[in-house]
Structure 1
């Protein structure tokens, strides 16, 4: 079987299942349409609120600056975009799922945040011209892309020369003992939390399974380099439970 995210696979992973690429795209869309309105509440419940700290750290690494054009891909509910907009950057929020974007638009309205561009986009086939953005960010979204290598190639294409790529994603913790504890928690408790809060155990079971199937940190870094990025770097958080990957278009 081909490695995760490659183009030549007849099937791709949907959690622990192998499905056709079109089927994965459809089923992932259904997952996020189903959980959109409870997505941020569930993030708090699953991470004990730590996802907020991880996102703050991520944006500090991106270093958005006034006047920059930044594409926040898979940014539906606006968490990363809101943080970057505070720094004066011009943010385009894109997501393949309109339901997620609708939640983000509603949240932006309640917070009085305007000036963001909201655009329904497939990460594998962006409609933006070459060399449009100064930075490309994606947080907790790349593992749900059907063909990861295509999304990375598109990220490289739409960045200006000197542009930077930053990805925040779950990975595999290398802390002794903690991996086993987290594995038991995520597989046994997260679906139950999903059922209690969102009325949807299956979607959260998929989200946990998708983390398990995602490439390890060094393997994903190699995929980023293969897409043409240079000066790549991996910053593990909690031993690699979460990781910030970055690279530059030179």
Structure 2
């Protein structure tokens, strides 16, 4: 059963990196190294890891964002730009794609150019824990499969609320907790046995995919993340689980 108590980051000098505790000051660089390693095969591995389901989840997420031509979307942890570029293609006015990893952003920028979406899309190297934008400056913020990699998730949520305009909305797509327990053994087998081997075969990197599987298990469940969002000052917080709870879309407003 899920707890209703809010989840808080451990206030210590360490942070979780998968199942390991590492110095908090080092986690961001370790995460950056993971995505430096997987960047060339990132999109291919997303298809393999999720059996193509990530495309469905992102389509549902983009529909939840509801791009509008007069709005600005800040996309945190953009990676190769699936969400930011997808939102622009659907009519979002301005998109700011941000990520801590320059190599991932470079791939996203190239994709945008190839899609003819360069106008109205900016790419910035940004740590989501310290967003270099003014207070109340954007209408919407999206974050897909990135929050679990952040060292201080509470800080990310506080920053998201800070830069939202009143009436603005934060949306997060992230791996969550299975709600169909009959799938648990199969899900664990896929995550911890199959994925690292596929990572080694396709991306020549099993350790990074072992970390990614572990990071999913360490991430707060649906109710705990909703509690964290409320603690950060977001209101009307809700979530929708997809694929039996493998992922969830959380939403909160600045009112």
Question: C-alpha offsets along residues 221-245 of structure 1, whole Å, 9 cap, x if unaligned?
Answer: 1000000001000100112110000
1:21 corresponds to: 24
Change (3 A) 1:242 1:179: same
1:165 corresponds to: 170
Distance 1:239 1:222 in 2: 21
Q: How much does 1:82 deviate?
A: 1.5
Stretches of structure 1 lacking an aligned partner (at least 5 in a row): none
Question: C-alpha offsets along residues 34-58 of structure 1, whole Å, 9 cap, x if unaligned?
Answer: 1111111000001111100100000
1:60 corresponds to: 63
Question: C-alpha offsets along residues 179-237 of structure 1, whole Å, 9 cap, x if unaligned?
Answer: 22111111000000101110000000000000000011100110000000010001001
Distance 2:153 2:211 in 1: 17
The answer to whether 1:80 aligns with 2:86 is no
The answer to whether 1:188 aligns with 2:193 is yes
SS in structure 2 of the partner of residue 164 of structure 1 = strand
Distance 1:223 1:137 in 2: 16
The answer to whether 1:239 aligns with 2:253 is no
Give TM-score, length-normalised by structure 2.
0.95
| Corresponding residue to 1:214 among 213, 216, 219 | 219
Distance 2:74 2:17 in 1: 26
Change (3 A) 1:73 1:5: farther
Superposition RMSD in Å: 1.2
The answer to whether 1:102 aligns with 2:137 is no
The answer to whether 1:113 aligns with 2:117 is yes
Question: C-alpha offsets along residues 55-74 of structure 1, whole Å, 9 cap, x if unaligned?
Answer: 00001011111120110000
Q: How much does 1:127 deviate?
A: 0.6
Distance 1:176 1:150 in 2: 32
Distance 1:114 1:23 in 2: 34
Q: 8 Å contact 2:8–2:228 — kept in the other structure?
A: no
Distance 2:8 2:19 in 1: 14
Stretches of structure 2 lacking an aligned partner (at least 5 in a row): 1-5
Distance 2:9 2:51 in 1: 33
SS in structure 1 of the partner of residue 181 of structure 2 = coil
